[in-house]
Chain A
């Protein structure tokens, strides 16, 4: 017992056995590949199908009307395979094709290959010696520190189909895609537009109504088609360029630690270097995992840009659903990993704790306390380009430190002497780790007689992670105590309460007295001359 199908060849219905159907199907697909899918190829194929139908019909009158495998094989040997045609035609096929030359498509050239045939195919496409392209590729490899150029090659290797059939080999070397030809094809388009416009005008003169609308539609359609073609090529080129340099930037930023293309103008690249940045935020193990996920997360869309861009420009056919889907899968996994990693890192910020250190300012003649800023010891060092919630990273001789701005407030003291409290805050997974982090914070100030010098920054030692650390300085003044804020203190004072509700900016450079009702402006006298240049050296 054999299964039979009903098929329609060239308008005639036939019954065909399953195995015969498969062979016939394969044969027709082979012919289709050979003749190509252009207008001419379709016509040839239609003629051949009509002939096959005729042969089947001739013989199905005397048999039981079912086509068997033997008959399909008989037909195939009568009609011949593509190899037979090439042989009978003497292998030289491009006699009459010059007028209806195929459009050139990008294929990989298996006959001129070194690795994947990509350069060979590109060479055929651009009508260049592939050796030149190979040299360019090697130079690109070196310039881009190998990976981005290699990835671009792999994308083309996977995406661009190999020229297997005769038709594909012809397409590979089809009508040139030189500037001249692009111009020609655009000119043809323009001609088409003009013609359809002419048709439209004629139809306007001769027939009215419906035809007019159709004509107008045709004109708009051809104009639209032309614009679309130009637009598609431009978009493709932009996609290729940005995909390539995006990859270049991403990879150098991930791997080398600083972006290679940073110095080049006009080229987009990520400004920050991820490993560096992440090191201050998360635990070492998580940094690696995070970077790998970010690499996939950003890299896969960039690869997709390269693929789509090259496809738009070179118009090659490809069918790589499996690869596409698995890349989407990898992308999703990377996304999940990154979310999980950051989720686990968020735990590091769960608890807040603080450590307080109080210092009594003890000096006999201190009725007035002068508050000034100590010298900025990191002034001369290069700061990194990024700013993390008011923290900044500075390069020093033996590594890096993270600096943060403390905040200074003034309160009334309960006792009779001045008091300075430094409260250090940090977050951590538990209260204990939060407190440990807080204790690791370094903040210093120094007393010289009646002058207090505050460092402009608190800092974290190299290796400490950012855990939303803060430093709150409170100067407690006894009743009757007088404070003078140096101009430079504006950097660290923060919303000091006073009876006149004076803004911080207007509080500096003046004397303030602690009265029962609060801090009161005492006068705008200038700083005594002896105090003017009493800035100490760095606090050690």
Chain B
């Protein structure tokens, strides 16, 4: 078992959660999302984000609209749908439970 693999698996599980979190305020376009995720070291290569965005969109959790940009081509601005917000609320709950569970196990070991 490779450490890198396990790390990637861990990240993957929460990557979707993080994307939804980032979008939980104002609509953002891909570069903004990438910036946020990169700063938090959630992704290494940018290419990972695009398939995820498309899949979340196809699952009905995200929607996008085109917006003209002052420099260059129009940009795709993503935002949460109602379904996406509900999904996020549930994920928030699961995340809290997960952190709690891991915390308990770590404590009991110590």
Contact = CB atoms under 8 A, between A and B. Distances in A.
Bind each other: yes
Interface of A: 10-12, 31, 35, 40, 43-44, 47-48, 50-51, 53-54, 57, 77-82, 84-85, 87-92, 95-97, 99-100
A102 to B, nearest CB: 13
A48 B75 CA distance: 12
Contact of B43 (A50, A88, A90, A99): A88
B50 interface: yes
Contacts of A85: 45, 47-48, 51
B46 A51 contact: yes
A100 B58 CA distance: 8
Nearest to B45: A80
Interface of B: 4-5, 8-9, 11-13, 15, 30-31, 34, 43-48, 50-56, 58-59, 71-73, 75-76
Nearest to A10: B73
Contacts of B48: 80, 84-85, 88-89
A24 to B, nearest CB: 14
A96 B59 contact: yes
Given A47-B30, A79-B46, A80-B47, A88 B55 contact: no
Nearest to B73: A11
Contact of A90 (B12, B30, B53, B73): B12
Most chain B CB within 10 A, of A12, A48, A50, A78, is at A50
A96 B55 contact: yes
A88 B44 contact: yes
Contacts of A82: 47
Given A47-B30, A51-B30, A53-B72, A97 B55 contact: yes
Given A80-B46, A88-B12, A99 B73 contact: no
Contacts of A35: 51
B4 A44 contact: no
A90 to B, nearest CB: 4
Contact of B31 (A54, A96, A99): A54
A50 B73 contact: yes
Most chain B CB within 10 A, of A10, A12, A44, A77, is at A44
Contact of B47 (A48, A92, A97, A100): A48
B94 to A, nearest CB: 15
Contact of B72 (A31, A40, A54, A84): A54
Nearest to B57: A43
A95 B55 contact: yes
B12 A78 contact: no
A79 B45 CA distance: 5
B50 A48 contact: yes
A78 to B, nearest CB: 6
B45 A47 contact: no
Given A51-B46, A54-B31, A88-B44, 18 more contacts: A10-B73, A47-B50, A51-B50, A57-B72, A78-B45, A80-B44, A81-B47, A87-B4, A88-B45, A89-B12, A89-B51, A90-B11, A90-B13, A91-B8, A96-B55, A96-B56, A99-B59, A100-B58
